[in-house]
């Protein structure tokens, strides 16, 4: 099962490569409940050459920031980043509890299955900016990424997540 998934991922990456310098995988957003004004969006970004994510735009939210969550003593704190560096060839994962795109002043409730449009603004090492549009699929509040089928046999136990 895992091999099939990997093959699909690679096929997608190869087709996306022709038009998009930064590989964006598994973009998703957390669905909201009524009257919730903010949520997070997550994805995996891999840039072939050093690039920075400098801005995210969306018609779904009034204010969008790139956030980092870090443990400060015993307290998890979020802070806004001006830019998110993407080192060459190194995947940068935005995930719950870590880096995320913070969508605030939401225009409407985000329901599971909704495709949240995001425009990622990147800046290359040459200072030139380019954009890529992605759709983040909304998943229910509290839902985690699906567990990999079949496990990975490395013996690290439940705490080891990929
Ligand atoms: Cu945040």
Report the C-alpha gap between 52 and 66 in whole angstroms: 12
Give the residues across from 146 on adjacent strands. none
Whether the Cβ atoms of residue 40 and residue 28 lie closer than 8 Å to each other = no
C-alpha 68 – ligand 1 centre gap (Å): 7
**19 compared with 30, residue with greater pLDDT:** 30
pLDDT at position 18: 38
Say yes or no to pLDDT of 147 above 50. no
Q: What are phi and psi of 148, to 5 degrees?
A: -65, 135
The answer to whether residues 57 and 64 touch, using CB atoms and an 8 Å cutoff, is yes
Task: Provide the 10 A C-beta neighbour count for residue 67.
Answer: 19
Give the mean model confidence (pLDDT) for residues 72-85. Answer: 94
pLDDT one-digit tens code per residue, 81-112: 999 999 999 999 999 999 999 999 999 999 99
**What's residue 103's pLDDT?**
98
Q: What is the mean pLDDT of the chain?
A: 83
42 Cα to the center of ligand 1, angstroms: 11
User: What number is the average pLDDT over the span 140-149?
Assistant: 57
CA of 121 to the centre of ligand 1 (A): 18
Strands 100-106 and 92-94, by their bridges, are unpaired
Distance 40 CA to ligand 1 centre (A): 7
Q: Which of 134, 139, 87, 132 is nearest to 112 (CA)?
A: 139
**94 CA → ligand 1 middle, Å:** 11
> Which pLDDT belongs to residue 63?
98
pLDDT beyond 80 at 124? yes
Q: Could you tell me the distance, in angstroms and rounded to a whole number, from the CA of residue 67 to the centre of ligand 1?
A: 5
Tens-place pLDDT, residues 11-20: 555 444 433 4
Q: How far is the CA of 14 from the centre of ligand 1 (A)?
A: 31
Give the pLDDT confidence score for residue 143 in this predicted structure. 54
**What is the CA angle 96-94-161, rounded to 5?**
65
In this prediction, residue 117 carries a pLDDT of 98
Distance (Å, whole) CA 103 – CA 161: 26
DSSP 25-91: EEEEEE---TT---EEEEEEEEBSS-EEEEEEE-TTEEEEEEEEEEEETTEEEEEEES-EEE-BT--
Q: Measured in angstroms, how far is the CA atom of residue 110 from the centroid of ligand 1?
A: 16
What proportion of the chain, given as a percentage, has pLDDT over 90?
67
Residue 61 Cα to ligand 1 midpoint, Å, equals 13
Taking residue 146's Cβ as centre, other Cβ atoms within 10 Å add up to 8
Whether pTM > 0.85 for this model: the answer is: no
How far, in Å, are 46, 47, 76, 88 from residue 91 at the CA level?
4, 7, 23, 8
What's the CA-to-centroid distance between 129 and ligand 1, angstroms? 24
Residue-level pLDDT at 46: 97
Residue 83 CA to ligand 1 centre (angstroms): 14
């Amino acid at each position: 099962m895992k091999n099939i998934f990997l093959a699909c991922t690679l096929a997608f990456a190869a087709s996306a490569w022709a038009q998009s310098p930064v590989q964006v995988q598994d973009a998703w957003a957390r669905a909201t409940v009524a009257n919730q004004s903010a949520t997070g969006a997550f994805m995996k970004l891999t840039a072939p050459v050093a690039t920075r994510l400098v801005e995210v735009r969306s018609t779904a939210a009034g204010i969008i920031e790139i956030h980092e969550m870090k443990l400060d003593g015993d307290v998890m704190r979020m802070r806004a980043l001006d830019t998110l560096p993407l080192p060459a060839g190194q995947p940068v994962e935005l995930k719950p509890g870590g880096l995320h795109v913070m969508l605030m002043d939401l225009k409407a409730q985000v329901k599971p299955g909704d495709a949240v449009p995001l425009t990622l603004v990147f800046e290359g090492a040459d200072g030139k900016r380019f954009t890529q549009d992605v759709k983040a699929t909304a998943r229910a509040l509290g839902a985690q990424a699906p567990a990999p089928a079949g496990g990975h046999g490395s013996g690290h136990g439940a705490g080891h997540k990929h």
